[in-house]
């Protein structure tokens, strides 16, 4: 049995960092891309090189659509930007993360899969809501695509004109795809932007998954409960 509030009929899962261990690959790709850009810029301008940090990842890019992450980080550093630069950096980041996925493979969080399978047995509806354009590829690579009834990813968001997290629109689309009202749906997120999206959408329960020591920040950004692992929500 799952430890869920009464009235929850649908579960909306972020992918990277909640279901799969790809968040660390995304973080590494962002760092490699931005550090190369910042180092080249420092050489051109004579300004000191300041590396891309784990805090930068958490605050500016984690959970956001790729181009939004580029824009948010550049703005935070006061770097002038245009569409060409944003697109070039975003494309480079995507190339790097796909390379890492091919080289290292994708691991899942076993306890998350246990929870999703238990939800399936209990008749709860299930969807993945991710800003990644590579969501279906990742799901297929680890053989868990059929555990979910709907996928709202970066490609869907782009085709339907949905703003990305921290706006709630992609989660709202996920709930609609499952035939659930927001108050009937639980959101599972490890990113601060994703937790904000869950709170902004008026969802019935927002679960913050603390993978990187962000317990207090997840709560501050709107999580109703913060867990270190989804096994905490399975009644043994």
Q: Is 225 exposed, middle or buried (0-12, 13-18, 19+ CB in 10 A)?
A: middle
| Closest CA relative to residue 187, chosen from 203, 168, 167 | 203
| Closest CA relative to residue 31, chosen from 48, 62, 52 | 52
For the question of residue 16 being annotated catalytic, the response is yes
User: What is the C-alpha to C-alpha distance for residues 81 and 90, in angstroms, rounded to an integer?
Assistant: 13
Strands 185-189 and 150-152, how do they pair?
Answer: unpaired
Helix (H) or strand (E) holding 183: none
User: What is the C-alpha to C-alpha distance for residues 6 and 166, in angstroms, rounded to an integer?
Assistant: 26
Beta strands across the sheet bearing 185-189: 150-152, 125-129, 10-13, 185-189, 205-209, 225-227
User: What is the C-alpha to C-alpha distance for residues 144 and 86, in angstroms, rounded to an integer?
Assistant: 32
Output the DSSP codes for 203-232: -SEEEEE-SSS-HHHHHHTT-SEEESSGGG
* Residue tagged active-site, from 14, 62, 153, 190: 14
Catalytic residues: 14, 16
């Amino acid at each position: 049995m799952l430890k869920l509030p009464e009235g929850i009929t649908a579960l909306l899962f972020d992918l990277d960092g909640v279901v799969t261990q790809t968040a660390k690959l995304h973080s590494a790709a962002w760092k490699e891309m931005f550090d190369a850009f910042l180092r080249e810029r420092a050489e051109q301008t004579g300004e000191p090189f300041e590396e891309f940090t784990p805090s930068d990842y958490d605050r500016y890019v984690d959970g956001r659509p790729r181009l939004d992450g580029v824009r948010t980080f550049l703005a935070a550093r006061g770097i002038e930007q245009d569409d060409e630069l944003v697109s070039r950096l975003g494309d480079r980041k995507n190339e790097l993360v796909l390379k890492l996925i091919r080289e290292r493979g994708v691991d899942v969080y076993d306890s998350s899969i246990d929870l999703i399978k238990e939800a399936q047995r209990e008749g709860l509806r299930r969807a993945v809501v991710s800003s990644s354009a590579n969501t279906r590829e990742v799901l297929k690579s680890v053989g868990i695509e059929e555990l979910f009834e709907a996928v709202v990813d970066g490609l869907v968001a782009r085709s339907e004109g949905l703003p990305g997290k921290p706006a709630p629109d992609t989660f709202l689309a996920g709930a609609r795809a499952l035939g659930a009202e927001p108050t009937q749906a639980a959101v599972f997120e490890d990113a601060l932007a994703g937790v904000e999206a869950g709170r902004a959408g008026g969802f019935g329960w927002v679960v913050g998954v603390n993978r990187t020591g962000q317990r207090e920040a997840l709560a501050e950004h709107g999580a109703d409960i913060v867990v270190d692992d989804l096994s905490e929500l399975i009644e043994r």
